Structure 1
């Protein structure tokens, strides 16, 4: 009987995953995870592996927020402002990816993997910037609806 509940719960998680990836926020987070993994592989195979920490951190943060929003944990753990945390995550991801990618592209002469990681990093920087922009628009619209008082957490990811 325990196996039946395990199968049902894993099927429920897979269904939540499929339905969340179809949302705008889910697609953006999934793309951030995939791009960060590609960048991690490129940086790890280059001569200068020091930039792998950027890709690892951003991928881990994106996975955490993906899981939190997919499982609706943001509605259960209300002590954390998930909206602002996600905004800060996306904004810092934008800055870090754009800065390190420009350095990698400029410095990577003769190291194709570093240049490829830099180019994918620039794309990731643009994706993180788009994510930051969508979060900003959501924060702005919720604030105008509530009169600027308090940002409600439940209406943030209903797109």
Structure 2
């Protein structure tokens, strides 16, 4: 039992580090960290705005685990590219609205920092939405066939 656990742990760690080095892994990790920092800033000033950061951090962590463990191939009834696209698009829009409201209200320094970081999060989530837009992704093309293989 201990041997199988020891052998599976490096595989899990390798999968985590391999996915973390991809563009999608870096984006999701940056989203999680940025949401955490925004959550801390909002908690220090106005806890009413912190729910957006909590929800987006949890959703980004879920998608990170799903992509890291290759669950998106094992759960085919969910369209993962479109789900991820709508998650990031909605997050970008909500962060933009929240940041504008927070910056217009003016408050203490942590509230202003949270508003500016929210604008940065808007750019990050917007870029992630642009990158994950399913229509932009290359489609599988059929392999070329040689006409000499079949009847003429």
Flag as ranges the 4+ runs of structure 1 deviating above 4 A. none
| Cα drift, residue 8 of structure 1 | 2.6
Alignment of 1:110-129 (within 5 A): 111-129=108-126
Q: Where does residue 82 of structure 2 map in the other structure?
A: 84
Q: Report the TM-score, using the length of structure 1 for normalisation.
A: 0.83
Residues 55-83 of structure 1, C-alpha deviation per residue, up to 9 Å, x if partnerless?
Answer: 00000000000100111000000010001
Q: How many residues align?
A: 141
SS at match of 1:83: helix
| Cα drift, residue 105 of structure 1 | 1.4
Q: Where does residue 21 of structure 1 map in the other structure?
A: 20
Q: Which runs of 5+ in 2 are unaligned?
A: 142-152
Alignment of 1:43-82 (within 5 A): 43-46=42-45, 48-82=46-80
Q: Which runs of 5+ in 1 are unaligned?
A: 147-159
Q: Where does residue 132 of structure 1 map in the other structure?
A: 129
Give, in whole Å, the separation in 1 of the partners of 2:100 and 2:3. Answer: 51
Q: Report the TM-score, using the length of structure 2 for normalisation.
A: 0.87
For the aligned residue pairs, the C-alpha RMSD in angstroms reads 1.4
Higher Rg: 2
SS at match of 1:86: helix
